[in-house]
Amino acid sequence: MSINITMPALSPTMEEGNLAKWLVKEGDSVSAGDVIAEIETDKATMEVEAVDEGTVARIMVAEGSEGVKVNAVIAVLAEDGEDPGSVEASAAQPSKPDEQTPAPATASSKKTEAAEAPSDKPAPMAEQASQGVSASGDRIFASPLARRIAGQNGVDISRINGSGPRGRVVKADVEAAVSEGTAVGTKQSAKGSVQAVTPTAVQGMTDEQILATFDDGTYESKPHDGMRKVIAERLTQSAQTIPSYFVTMECELDKLLALRTQMNEAAPNDGEGKPAYKISVNDFIVKAMALALQAVPAANVSWTSTDRLYHKHSDVGVAVAVDDGLFTPIVRKAEQKTLSVISAEVKDIAGRARNKKLLPQEYQGGCTAVSNLGMFGVREFTSIINPPHASIVSIGAGEKKPIVRDGALAVGTLMAATFAFDHRCIDGALGAELAAAFKDYIENPMGMLV
């Protein structure tokens, strides 16, 4: 009996992914544990392993396909002794590189399908073009991705000549129409009148109103990718639902900088004659935040609708800028790790974050985060809390300033650390206590070595 291989859910929130690459072809034999494909999500590129052995009889989703739903059939295996040529897959025809393969129907979905089934009543013309229907009522064959891009850019897909099989309109056709300015801006109704593209509301203005404020040709339109959509959704939700407040502590860095220099100079060489580690100021900051949460355990919390979760360990996220996006990989149990271990781990996860090679468990969860823009010369800033975190500390640049030290005027290196707290579970005095504990570790860094 044939075995269906389905699109896996690589995280609890994943609904769809892109099939980036097949590592097998039809006719290949595979065993359980063999890597057969690479899947892209909004956050990472993951390898998919076979869980059964057999022969690849049918590849149902082509390499490069985008928006493939979780549990959709992507390939079919023939079992030992079964003729691969006679295998009948439960999925439909293989999809093209920019098509979306629907998940197979289940008993629980039949009611929904019936409710969403098209009726005999014709759809309004403003909707027909997005569904691939021309003004005359003829169906226009177009991939879901092409229709989505057309809708985002106000393109009448019925006016595009498709280059795909049987004249199917694909992603490249729509992008060409957008760049050439053809088929953009209006749609013809069945009566020949012109209808405006149905806009989507964004920040109190419709897309049409936003576009009307700019001259044609003075901007380039770039559709949102999965990462940008997730960032927008999560941070908008955070800003709208978390009652945040901010506390700023100015920390003197001179002792920390001196200790850092001593530790790096004392670092042993590796096998290639290079220092085994090079600790950064940010590594001290991660460790200080972890230890501060242990010193003030009431602030080491997460909020749910029914409970506060008090964490035993300090799992500290480190904000990492990537191409057109942001990751916050987690240093687990940071309070137990030495500065050299934290340094090596942060370098590793930051590098893999930039290459989208992190596993979901490496960037999900955590109880707090560190965001450091000091290397860009930023003096002070605030950050948005990323749930399930209840806090985040924003680090500015160290600056030479006059200070009073032992009753005398001196010059010191000061760094602004601005904390954002979720007021639902960390009240003002508690947040100030955590900020003070952090400041104490930064200004007395030998305490981090104990």
Q: Using CA atoms, how far apart are residues 48 and 57, in angstroms rounded to an integer?
A: 17
- Pick the closest to residue 371 from 280, 279, 285, 290 (CA basis): 285
- Specify the range with the lowest mean pLDDT, choosing from 145-154, 176-185, 296-305, 404-413: 176-185
pLDDT at 356 (0 to 100): 83
pLDDT at 185 (0 to 100): 52
As a whole number, mean pLDDT of residues 166-185 equals 74
Cis amide bond preceding 388, omega within 30: yes
Is residue 138 predicted with pLDDT exceeding 70?
no
As a whole number, mean pLDDT of residues 335-355 equals 95
Residue extents of the structural domains in the chain = 3-110, 123-223, 230-448
pLDDT at 256 (0 to 100): 98
Taking only the tens place, the pLDDT of each residue in 12-31 is 677 888 888 899 998 898 88
Higher confidence at residue 107 or residue 305?
A: 305
DSSP alpha helices (H): ranges in 105-225? Answer: 110-116, 125-131, 144-152, 171-180, 207-212
pLDDT at 121 (0 to 100): 41
pLDDT at 187 (0 to 100): 40
Residues noted as catalytic: 423
As a whole number, mean pLDDT of residues 78-96 equals 60
As a whole number, mean pLDDT of residues 434-449 equals 97
Mapped onto helix, strand or coil, the DSSP state of residue 295 is helix
Is residue 96 predicted with pLDDT exceeding 70?
no
Taking only the tens place, the pLDDT of each residue in 402-417 is 999 889 999 999 999 9
- Pick the closest to residue 96 from 44, 162, 156 (CA basis): 162
Taking only the tens place, the pLDDT of each residue in 209-257 is 787 788 777 888 888 887 888 888 888 999 999 999 999 999 999 999 9
Mapped onto helix, strand or coil, the DSSP state of residue 39 is strand
Is residue 133 predicted with pLDDT exceeding 60?
no
Percent of the chain whose pLDDT exceeds 70: 79
Q: How many CA atoms lie less than 13 Å away from 375 in the CB half-sphere?
A: 7
- Pick the closest to residue 70 from 13, 31, 28, 151 (CA basis): 13
- DSSP string spanning 334-393? GGGS-HHHHHHHHHHHHHHHHTT---GGGTS--SEEEEE-GGGT---------TT-SEEE
As a whole number, mean pLDDT of residues 263-269 equals 93
Q: Does residue 174 contact residue 149 with C-beta atoms inside 8 Å?
A: yes
pLDDT band per the 50, 70, 90 thresholds, residue 204: low
Residue 65, Cβ neighbours under 10 Å: how many?
A: 25
> In the predicted model, what is the mean pLDDT of the chain?
81
Q: Does residue 329 contact residue 350 with C-beta atoms inside 8 Å?
A: yes
pLDDT at 139 (0 to 100): 56
pLDDT at 387 (0 to 100): 92
Is residue 201 predicted with pLDDT exceeding 80?
no
Q: Identify the top-confidence range among 1-5, 85-89, 339-343.
A: 339-343
Q: Using CA atoms, how far apart are residues 289 and 422, in angstroms rounded to an integer?
A: 16
Higher confidence at residue 44 or residue 343?
A: 343
What class does CATH assign to 3-110? Answer: mainly beta
What class does CATH assign to 230-448? Answer: alpha beta
pLDDT at 311 (0 to 100): 97
pLDDT at 304 (0 to 100): 94
Q: Using CA atoms, how far apart are residues 119 and 110, in angstroms rounded to an integer?
A: 16
Is residue 107 predicted with pLDDT exceeding 70?
no
As a whole number, mean pLDDT of residues 348-363 equals 89
Is residue 174 predicted with pLDDT exceeding 90?
no
Is residue 129 predicted with pLDDT exceeding 50?
no
Q: Using CA atoms, how far apart are residues 129 and 175, in angstroms rounded to an integer?
A: 16
- Specify the range with the lowest mean pLDDT, choosing from 57-66, 195-204, 321-330, 334-343: 195-204
Residue 387, Cβ neighbours under 10 Å: how many?
A: 15
As a whole number, mean pLDDT of residues 372-398 equals 96
Is residue 170 predicted with pLDDT exceeding 70?
yes
CA distances 302 to 39, 309, 314, Å, are: 31, 5, 12
Q: Identify the top-confidence range among 47-61, 72-86, 392-406.
A: 392-406
- Pick the closest to residue 176 from 168, 184, 167 (CA basis): 184
